[in-house]
C-alpha cells in the first residue's frame, strides 16, 4: 500500500460513515453486535423460551394425539410423581458425575506432563496427539467401542485366557464409552491450566521445604482448580445430554433417551420439553458454581 493511498482525504462514503462511527461509539458497538447477538437471541434464546413454554402445554395421549397450548404443571407433576423418570434422571446425573471424576483423574498425569514437564517441541506434539482424537467423530468412537465390548469383541478375546469376560453392553459400557469420548475435553483445559502455574512458585515451595505431595496439594491444585472445573463443564454437560452412545452400547435409558423417544416415537412434545428442563437446570447451577470458581477465565 502506498503512502499516497492513505493520505487521500476525499470525503468518500466510507470516510463519512467512519466519521459518524467515530463520533458515536455506541453505533460502532451496535453495528458489530446486531447480527451475532440478533442470531443468538432469536434462534437460541428464543428457542429456549419456546421450549420452556412448551413444557407447560398439554398433550392428549388418549383420543386426539394432539398438543394444546394451555398452561398447566401436569408434565412436571407426571415427571416428579413417576419413579421411573426420577430414577432415569438420577442415573443420568450419577453417570455424568462419575465420567467427570474419572476423566479428571485420568487427565491429571498427561496434562501435567504437557503443561510442566515437556519442552516446547514435545508439548506441541502432545497437543496434536490429544487434539486429533478430540475431533475424531463421536460416532466413530462409539462404533469402535461396540467392536471392543461386543460378545465376540476384542476385550473378551483378550480376557479369555484369564477366564474372565468384559462388562458387555450395559451401564458399565455407557460409563466406559462416555469417559473415553469426553476425555480430551478435560485434558486440554487442564494442560493449559498447568502451563499457567508459574514454575517459580513450585521452586519457592520446594525451597521452603515442602515435599512434592505437599506442594501439589497446597500450591498446584488450588491454581489449576479453575481449569479443572472448565474442563468438567464439557465432560459433565456432554454426558448429561447424551442418548446416542447410551442407546448404542446399552438398553438403559438416559434423560436424552426419554426426550428423544417422546419427541419422535410418542409425539408427546410437552413431556419431552418438561424433561429437558432438568439438564438445563443442572447445567445452570453447574455454570454458576463454575463461574464462582473462576472457570470462565480458564476456558
Partner 1 sequence: MQLSRRLRVVLVGSTGCLLVVIYVPILLIVLYAFNPSKSQKWPVTGLTLQWIQAAIGNPGARSALVLSVQVGLIATGIALVLGSLLAAAVHRYHFFGRNVVSFLVILPVAFPGIVTGIALNTTFRTLFGGLSLFTLIVGHATFCVVTVYNNVIARMRRTPGSLVEASADLGADPLQTFRFVTLPVIRSALIAGALLAFALSFDEIIVTTFTAGFNETLPIWIVANLSRPNQLPIVNAVALGVIIASAIPVYLAQRVASDAAGYG
Site for partner 1 in 195-214 (CB under 8 A): 202-203, 205-206, 210, 212
Angle formed by the axes of helices 120-135 and 171-196, nearest 10°? 150
Query: Contact, 110 vs 129, CB < 8 A?
Result: no
Of 98, 263, 266, 293, the residue at the interface with partner 1 (CB under 8 A) is 263
Of 23, 27, 48, 73, the residue at the interface with partner 1 (CB under 8 A) is 48
> Nearer to partner 1 by C-beta: 85 or 242?
242
State yes or no: residue 283 binds partner 1 (CB under 8 A).
yes
Of 56, 76, 216, 225, the residue at the interface with partner 1 (CB under 8 A) is 216
Q: Is the dihedral of CA 158, 163, 164, 169 positive or negative?
A: positive
For residue 6, count other CB atoms closer than 10 A to its CB.
Answer: 8
> Nearer to partner 1 by C-beta: 95 or 130?
130
Least distance from C-beta 91 to partner 1, angstroms? Answer: 15
Please, which of residues 171-190 interact with partner 1 by CB under 8 A? 180, 183-185, 188-189
Please, which of residues 80-99 interact with partner 1 by CB under 8 A? none
Stretch that binds partner 1, among 13-21, 58-66, 75-83, 162-170 (CB under 8 A): 13-21
Stretch that binds partner 1, among 11-19, 58-66, 77-85, 164-172 (CB under 8 A): 11-19
Query: Contact, 115 vs 197, CB < 8 A?
Result: yes
State yes or no: residue 218 binds partner 1 (CB under 8 A).
no
The separation between the first and the last C-alpha atoms of the chain, rounded to the nearest angstrom, is: 38
Least distance from C-beta 250 to partner 1, angstroms? Answer: 14
> Nearer to partner 1 by C-beta: 78 or 299?
299
For residue 68, count other CB atoms closer than 10 A to its CB.
Answer: 11
Least distance from C-beta 162 to partner 1, angstroms? Answer: 16
Of 88, 89, 93, 272, the residue at the interface with partner 1 (CB under 8 A) is 272
> Nearer to partner 1 by C-beta: 79 or 259?
259
Least distance from C-beta 86 to partner 1, angstroms? Answer: 19
Q: State the Cα–Cα distance between residues 21 and 10, nearest whole angstrom.
A: 17
State yes or no: residue 168 binds partner 1 (CB under 8 A).
no
Of 68, 72, 136, 165, the residue at the interface with partner 1 (CB under 8 A) is 136
State yes or no: residue 252 binds partner 1 (CB under 8 A).
no
Of 192, 228, 271, 298, the residue at the interface with partner 1 (CB under 8 A) is 192
CB burial class (10 A; 0-12, 13-18, 19+) of residue 242?
Answer: buried
- In angstroms and rounded to an integer, the radius of gyration of the C-alpha atoms of the chain is 26
Amino acid at each position: 500500500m502506498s503512502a499516497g493511498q492513505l493520505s487521500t482525504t476525499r470525503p468518500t462514503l466510507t470516510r463519512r460513515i467512519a466519521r459518524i462511527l467515530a463520533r458515536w461509539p455506541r453505533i460502532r458497538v451496535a453495528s458489530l453486535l446486531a447480527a451475532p447477538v440478533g442470531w443468538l437471541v432469536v434462534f437460541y434464546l428464543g428457542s429456549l423460551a419456546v421450549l420452556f413454554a412448551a413444557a407447560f402445554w398439554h398433550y392428549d395421549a388418549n383420543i386426539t394425539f394432539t398438543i394444546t397450548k394451555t398452561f398447566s404443571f401436569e408434565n412436571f407433576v407426571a415427571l416428579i410423581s413417576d419413579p421411573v423418570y426420577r430414577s432415569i434422571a438420577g442415573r443420568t446425573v450419577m453417570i455424568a458425575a462419575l465420567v467427570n471424576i474419572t476423566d479428571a483423574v485420568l487427565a491429571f498425569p498427561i496434562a501435567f506432563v504437557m503443561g510442566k514437564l515437556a519442552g516446547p517441541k514435545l508439548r506441541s506434539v502432545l497437543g496434536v496427539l490429544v487434539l486429533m482424537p478430540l475431533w475424531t467423530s463421536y460416532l466413530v468412537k462409539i462404533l469402535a467401542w461396540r467392536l471392543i465390548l461386543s460378545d465376540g469383541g476384542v476385550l473378551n478375546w483378550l480376557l479369555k485366557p484369564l477366564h474372565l469376560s468384559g462388562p458387555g453392553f450395559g451401564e458399565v459400557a455407557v460409563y466406559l464409552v462416555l469417559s473415553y469420548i469426553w476425555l480430551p475435553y478435560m485434558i486440554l483445559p487442564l494442560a493449559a491450566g498447568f502451563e499457567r502455574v508459574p514454575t517459580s512458585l513450585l521452586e519457592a515451595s520446594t525451597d521452603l521445604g515442602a515435599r512434592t505431595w505437599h506442594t501439589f496439594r497446597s500450591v498446584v491444585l488450588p491454581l489449576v482448580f479453575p481449569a479443572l472445573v472448565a474442563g468438567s463443564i464439557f465432560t459433565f454437560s456432554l454426558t448429561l445430554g447424551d442418548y446416542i452412545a447410551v442407546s448404542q452400547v446399552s438398553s438403559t435409558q438416559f434423560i436424552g433417551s426419554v426426550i428423544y423417544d417422546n419427541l419422535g416415537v410418542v409425539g408427546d412434545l410437552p413431556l419431552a420439553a418438561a424433561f429437558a428442563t432438568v439438564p438445563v437446570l443442572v447445567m445452570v447451577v453447574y455454570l454458576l458454581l463454575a463461574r464462582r470458581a473462576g472457570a470462565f477465565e480458564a476456558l
